[in-house]
Amino acid sequence: MKYLMRRAFHGIVLLFGVSLFSFLLAQLAPGDYLAEARLNPQISPQTVAALRAQYGLDRPFVSRYLSWAKSVLKGDLGFSFAYNSPVASLLWPRVCNTLILTVTSTAIAWFIALILGLASASRRGGWVDRICGLGNSALLAIPDLVLALALLLLALRTGLFPTGGMSSVGSEALPFWGKATDLARHLSLPCAALVLATLPVLVRHLRAAMIEVIDAPFVRTALAHGIPRGRILWRQVLPAAANPLISLLGISIGTLLSSSLLIEVIMSWPGLGPMTLEAIFARDFHLVIGSIMFSTVYLVSGNLFADLLLYAVDPRIRKE
């Protein structure tokens, strides 16, 4: 229990450090939300000064940070100047959309990576291993941007998949399964881009972890006793290689999140990515910091989930 409490405390400290560093960068960045208003000759300097006082932009750094921290305790995460509303109410729908994309992509990527990693490790040097290696090298050489644009071009040429958004016009009138099917069609392209972007790294790590266990003496002994190879792989090799794979799961969640923000912008998926980009252009710093904090919470939660799995799987951690 102390292990889990210590990991949760580390996450809280990380959230505090990220919020403080984000506020410091926002303070050092040139300009603010009213920078364009000062250049407008139709707006008087007195009006700009009054708006700065109203939004609290004229206050010192410590005062602004403490005011934002109080709003976090209330659940507002600050106030959006551009949307004239609390940040949390704006970000919650976008966070849910990002979670739909990243959780689905994580599940699909790991399912495919487990199958390919096991097949490649169990038949080293065979045709499956060579095809996987060639495919991994090709996907690693292609930037995520080019991959997403290629998928968009494929959708435009074939017309099989929608090229933006997460629902079709009039989908509100569809029954439940109709809405689910429509969501799956809109999810297919960004999900495919994320899976293809993260799959090579997962397959390579899984293959290396599996090979290290396959070469262990207890696996060779089991094979010598005539136990089927597939049974050994799934019941012996995979659990023995669980520790590095669970740690990789926490890292892959952060990688998927950073990739998803770019994919969301390119493929017009209404998640955190497009809203964060709009907030940066508008210099709506509270909205930017809210997006960063939500992303950090997602990353910390993913790593904490991996720590919980390690705690449940590995008795050595519980003993320590």
pLDDT band at 1; cut points 50, 70, 90: low
Distance in angstroms (rounded) separating the CA atoms of residues 119 and 211: 11
The residue among 71, 87, 103 that closes a domain is 87
Mean pLDDT of 246-268: 78
The answer to whether position 320 is within a domain reads: no
For residue 170, give the CATH number of its domain.
1.10.3720.10
Which helix (H) or strand (E) covers residue 79, if one does?
strand 79-80
The residue among 28, 61, 87 that closes a domain is 87
Please write the tens of the pLDDT for every residue from 173-183. 677 777 788 78
Mark whether 81 and 67 lie in a shared domain.
yes
Q: What is the pTM of this model?
A: 0.81
pLDDT exceeds 80 at position 195: yes
Mark whether 124 and 30 lie in a shared domain.
no
Residues 6+ apart with CB under 8 A from 218: 236
pLDDT exceeds 80 at position 287: yes
Mark whether 64 and 130 lie in a shared domain.
no
Please write the tens of the pLDDT for every residue from 122-143. 777 777 778 888 887 888 788 8
Distance in angstroms (rounded) separating the CA atoms of residues 211 and 58: 60
Which helix (H) or strand (E) covers residue 80, if one does?
strand 79-80
Instruction: Work out how many domains the chain is built from and give that number.
Output: 2
Mark whether 51 and 110 lie in a shared domain.
no
Quote the domain boundaries for residue 282: 90-315
Instruction: Provide the CB-side half-sphere exposure for 127 (13 A, CA).
Output: 0
Q: What's the confidence (pLDDT) of residue 320?
A: 59
Mark whether 220 and 198 lie in a shared domain.
yes
Averaged pLDDT score across all residues of the chain = 79
Please write the tens of the pLDDT for every residue from 28-76. 777 666 766 666 667 777 777 777 777 777 777 788 888 888 888 888 8
Mark whether 24 and 60 lie in a shared domain.
yes
